[in-house]
Amino acid sequence: MMKLDAFDPLESIVVTADQMGKIESRLFEAGMPVAALMEKAALLMSRRIQELYPLCNLSRVGILVGPGHNGGDALVIARELHLQGYNVCLYRPFIQSKELTIQHLKYAQSLGIPYSQEIEFLENCELIIDGLFGFGLTRELSGNIAQAIEFINHLNIPIISVDLPSGLNTDTGEVLGIAIKATYTLCLGLWKPVFFQDKALEYLGNVERINFGIPPKDVWAIVAKPAPLQILTPTLARGFLPLPRPLVTHKYQQGHLLLICGSRRYAGGSILTGLGARSSGVGMLSIAVPESLKSLLVSHLPDALIIDCPETENGAIAELPPLAADFNNYDIIGCGPGLTQEVTSVVEKVLKANCPVILDADALNILAKLGTMDSLSQRKATTILTPHLGEFKRLFPNISDPGCDRIAAVRTAAQDTGAIILLKGARTAIATPNGSVWLISESTPALARGGSGDVLTGLIGGLLAQNIASGGKIETGVDVGGIVATAAWWHAQAGILAAKERTELGVDAFTLSQWLVKVGIVK
C-alpha cells in the first residue's frame, strides 16, 4: 500500500537518484546545513515510527547503521526512541563512516546506547530500523553485509526502512545481491522510481513519503516541467476527464467509439470491452463482432449498435462490413480483445485508419508478427498499445527486458514508435513519445483475472472518444497520455474497491465493470 498526500504539490513528482542528489545539493548550497536537514527528516520519521509501533506495544528496537547519511538518519532515530523510553541497540558493521554519522554515533554512545559489529546482537529485538544504505547504492552487496541482511529477513519481526530498503537500486528496483524485506518504507523527500518497479514491491511493504519541506523551486530547477516521471494522483486524474456536458448536447457530441473484437471462441472479450466502454459514459458505442455473436451482444449491451461481420469457419471476423469499415464515422477505434490471430487483414486495415486507434490482446500479437516498428511508422494519427509483460516482449524484442527496468523500457518503446504505451502490471506505467511517463501508484491482485484488460481497453476508448468529441487536443501526446493514465487509475480503483467488499477472489471482470461507476471520479 502506498500512502499519498493529496494536498502536497510535490506528491506526484518522481525523481531519479541523480536528480534527488542534485536537489539536495541545491539545498546545501543555499545554506541549509546537512545536519539540520538530517535532524528534520529523522525527527519526522521517529514520530511516525512511534505512531506505528508505540512503546506500550514493544520495547527492544534494533537499528542498522550504515556508513553514510542514511546511517546518520538512523542514529537520530535511535537517539529519539531512546529518549522516549525504548530499549535501543545498534548494529554498526562499518568502521569508516561520514563525519556527521560519526558525530551522531558518539552522542548515542554518550547516552549509553549499546552497539556491536555482530548482527546476532539484534536477535531479541521486536522491531528493526534499516538505515544501512540510502538512494545512492549501486554496488552489489556481499560478504558480512549480505549475511546480516539475510539474518534480519529471517527474524520474522517488523522492519522499517529509511528511504528505501537497503540493497535495492533506486532507479531500477534491481536487487543488488540481497535486500531488506521491509514491513514499512519511509521514503524521504520525493518519490523515487524504485517504488514503481514491480520486482521491488515484495521488498517495500507499506510505503509512505516523509515530506521534510523541499521548496518546489529547488525541485523545478532540476526536474523539467512537466515532470518526466509523474504519479497519476486523484487530483490530476480529474483534470483529464471530459468537461461537464452542456445542457444542450447529443450522443455524437459525447464521443463515438468503435470496438472491433470478439470471436466464437472468445465471445466474452467483446462483452467485457463493451461494458468497460459503457461505464466511461461515452455517447455512442458501436461494436463490430462476428455475425453469430450479434444476438449475444445485443442481450448484454442493448444500448450499443452491434455491427455483425462476415466470419470465418472458426468464428472469427472475416472482414469489416461498410458500416464498420468507414472509420471516418468514429472518433476512435479499439481493436483486439477476443479477436484470435486469424484476423490479420482486419488489423492491417485498422492500422491505416486516420483516427486514433487502441490495440490490445490479439491485435498486439498480430502487430508483433507484422513488425511493430514498420507497421507503426506508417501511422499519422495517435496509436495506443496496452501490452502486458509477455506481449511487450513480443512487440519489442530489441528493447531491454522490462522486467529489469519497466520504466526505462516503456519510455524507450514510446519514443521509438511514436505511440502511447501502457505497460500493465502491479504498477502500471504509461509512456508518451515525448518521454513522459505516468505511473499508477496502487492496484490489486484482484485484477489478475481473465477479461480485466478487456474492460480497461473499453474504458480507455470511451474516455478518449469523449475528449475528441468535445474538442480535446488529443494529438499533443501529453494530454492523451494523461487520459490513458486516468483510465488505468480508474480501472485500478474499481478493482481495489470491489476487492474490499468482495475479497480479491470475488472480483471477476464482469464485477469489475460494474464497480467502475462507483469510484466517484466525476468532476
Binding residue per annotation — 427?
yes
Binding residue per annotation — 256?
no
Give the CA distances from residue 362 to residues 237, 287, 384, 391, 436, in Å, rounded to whole numbers and listed in that order.
29, 16, 14, 9, 27
226 cis-preceded (ω within 30 degrees of 0): yes
Binding residue per annotation — 482?
no
Binding residue per annotation — 471?
no
Binding residue per annotation — 69?
yes
Binding residue per annotation — 205?
no
Strand order from edge to edge, sheet including 229-231: 229-231, 437-439, 429-431, 420-423, 383-385, 357-359, 332-335, 256-260, 284-290, 305-309
Binding residue per annotation — 467?
no
Pairing of strands 159-162, 383-385: unpaired
Query: Which of 191, 195, 127, 114 shows the shortest CA–CA distance to 160?
Result: 127
Binding residue per annotation — 313?
no
Structure-block grid coordinates of residue 229 = 516521471
At CA 345, angle to CA 342 and CA 347, rounded to 5? 90
The answer to whether the CB of 214 falls within 8 A of the CB of 190 is yes
Query: What DSSP element (H or E) covers 46?
Result: helix 34-52
Binding residue per annotation — 166?
yes
Give the CA distances from residue 214 to residues 28, 32, 45, 220, 400, in Å, rounded to whole numbers and listed in that order.
11, 11, 16, 11, 34
Binding residue per annotation — 508?
no
Binding residue per annotation — 426?
yes
Indicate if the alpha-carbon torsion angle 384, 389, 390, 392 is positive or negative. positive
Binding residue per annotation — 274?
no
The answer to whether the CB of 97 falls within 8 A of the CB of 67 is yes
Residue 376 is classified by DSSP as H
Residue 139 is classified by DSSP as S
Q: How far is CA 99 from the centre of its chain?
A: 38
Binding residue per annotation — 278?
no
Binding residue per annotation — 62?
no
CA dist 335 and 314 (Å) reads 19
CA dist 350 and 331 (Å) reads 13
Binding residue per annotation — 454?
yes
Binding residue per annotation — 362?
no
Binding residue per annotation — 106?
no
Binding residue per annotation — 73?
yes
Indicate if the alpha-carbon torsion angle 271, 272, 275, 276 is positive or negative. negative
Question: Which amino acids are annotated as binding site, given as ranges?
Answer: 69-73, 130, 134-140, 163, 166, 338, 388, 424-428, 453-454
Question: Which amino acids are annotated as binding site for K(+), given as ranges?
Answer: 70, 130, 166
Question: Which amino acids are annotated as binding site for AMP, given as ranges?
Answer: 424-428, 453
Question: Which amino acids are annotated as binding site for (6S)-NADPHX, given as ranges?
Answer: 69-73, 134-140, 163, 338, 388, 454
